[in-house]
Amino acid sequence: MYDIITFGSATKDIFIKTKKFRVLKDKKNFATGKGVCFNLGSKVDIDEILFASGGGGTNTAATFAKQGFRTAYCGAVGQDLAGQEIIEELKNLNINTQLVVKSERKPTNHSIVISGINDDRTILVYRGASEELKKENIPWLKLKTKWFYISPLSGELCKVFGDLIDFAVKNKIKVALNPGNCQLSLPPKLLRKNLGKIDVLILNQEEASLLTGISYKKEKEIFKKIDEICSGIVIMTKGEKGVVLSDGEYLYRALPPKMKAADRTGAGDSFGAGFVSGFLRSRGDIIVATQIGIANSTACLKKLGAKQGLLKKNEKFYKVEVKKEKCSKNGLCQCRVCG
Ligand SMILES: Nc1ncnc2c1ncn2[C@@H]1O[C@H](COP(=O)(O)OP(=O)(O)OP(=O)(O)O)[C@@H](O)[C@H]1O
Ligand SMILES: [Mg+2]
């Protein structure tokens, strides 16, 4: 019996840091209004390079294993060197790899993360084997665990989302979910049905906005709407502005310490898995869970790569203040969010 099984992608990440990273403002050609530029036709020197495994499924598994939980990752890699290296790295982290499937159909997922001297970064993404995992490839009989942590699932894997949740409900497995665009774009009725069964729902501002159709700036309306759909804990992460979450009765807010991030990759995964680790360890104390979530993401951001700095069990960490305020769903609440 595992404590937790994580689902989601497994990637081989290549981190490249270079002072030659130039940002060009150009609203016409780039959706974000800015592009990354290098001299065409020349060699560009790289200051730092790191090869590491990444992807929501394996990043979150790394936090759980480091926090001392019996952890397995269930997902797919390709039948190639990168896939084998990911499996080895997971084993070294004490993550069980019995549930990892080697797909013949596509090579392992790859990401090339290019960043400059500040925390701006652009990621080139190859979506390969991880997205190819189908319902029939999942070793269902071996999914014996107390918790599932479901990271963004895309491609074929997105179709398995509902099956995983039905399986969890049938087998009394609790579910933490960080849905990706693919899941959030499922037909609203189906999505609502699935979200109704989630114990911990983790969204960033854009995802919360996509789910509700409400601007992320209108927190009051966002939480009212998501609390109606999901009876579990609902979390909205806000990058350097921290996190706000609701247990349906109270709202909790916390700010991370001010810091200079070496690399932002894995921020969401380290917060989500840190939160769930704290939640499990403290048997449901949301304040402790939030403090561990923030400390784990802060530790992750200080290092290049998504698994480098993650907190270990019993490692000392700075506990941020978590503000708690009453928030009932009946509209009588006077808190800042419900006002
Ligand atoms: N610049 C930062 N400084 C301090 N903490 C940060 C910063 N960026 C992110 N964090 C921490 O990480 C948490 C998750 O970050 P964010 O809201 O950016 O998630 P995300 O958009 O899901 O990230 P990802 O791109 O990794 O999926 C935040 O709630 C915060 O605690
Ligand atoms: Mg995220």
User: Tens digit of pLDDT for each residue in 78-137?
Assistant: 999 999 999 999 999 999 999 999 999 999 999 999 988 776 789 999 999 999 899 999
Q: What is the pLDDT of residue 217?
A: 87
Indicate whether 338 pLDDT > 60: no
Q: What is the C-alpha to C-alpha distance for residues 223 and 338, in angstroms, rounded to an integer?
A: 9
53 contacts: CB under 8 Å, gap ≥ 6:
10, 11, 12, 13, 85, 86, 89, 90, 307
Nearest ligand 1 atom, CA 266: 26
pTM above threshold 0.85: yes
Place of tokens 């990058």: 239
Q: What is the pLDDT of residues 135-151, one digit of tens each?
A: 999 999 999 999 999 99
276 vs 216, higher pLDDT: 276
Ligand 1 atom nearest to CA at 206: 21
Position 330 scores a pLDDT of 52
For the chain, give the longest Cα–Cα distance. 64
So what's the pLDDT on residue 119? 67
Structure tokens at 27: 């609203």
Backbone phi, then psi, for 247, in 5-degree steps?
A: -105, 15
Of 8, 309, 329, the C-alpha closest to 157 is 8
Cα of 256 vs centre of ligand 1, distance in Å, is 9
Q: 111 in ligand 1 pocket by Cβ < 6 Å?
A: no
- Cβ–ligand 1 contact at 290 (below 6 Å): no
Domains detected in the chain? 2-9+59-77+130-326 (3.40.1190.20)
Q: Which atom of ligand 1 has the smallest separation from the CA of 205? A: 17
- Nearest residue (by CA) to ligand 1, atom 2, is 240
Give the closest residue to 237 by CA, choosing from 211, 266, 272.
Answer: 272
Rounded distance between C-alpha atoms, residue 291 and residue 109, angstroms:
32
Nearest CA to ligand 1 atom 6: 240
Q: Give the single-character DSSP code of 2.
A: E
**How many helices, marked H, and strands, marked E, lie in the chain?**
9, 18
Three-class HEC string of 129-193: HHHHCCHHHCCHHHCCEEEEEECCCCHHHHHHHHHHHHHHHHCCCEEEECCCHHHHCCCHHHHHH
**Which residue's CA is the closest to the ligand 1 atom numbered 22?**
268
Q: How far apart are CA 31 and CA 239, in angstroms?
A: 20
Mean pLDDT within 245-256: 93
Is residue 328 very low, low, confident or very high in pLDDT (cuts 50, 70, 90)? low
Rg (C-alpha) for the chain, rounded Å, is 20
Q: Compute CA 113 distance to the chain's CA centroid, rounded to the nearest angstrom.
A: 17
pLDDT, averaged across the chain: 92
Pairing status of strand 76-78 against strand 34-37: unpaired
Which pLDDT tens digit goes with each residue over 163-186? 999 999 999 999 999 999 999 999
Closest ligand to Cα 306 = 1
DSSP per-residue codes, 36-60:
EE--TTS----SEEEEEEESHHHHH
**Residue 269 Cα to ligand 2 middle (Å):** 6
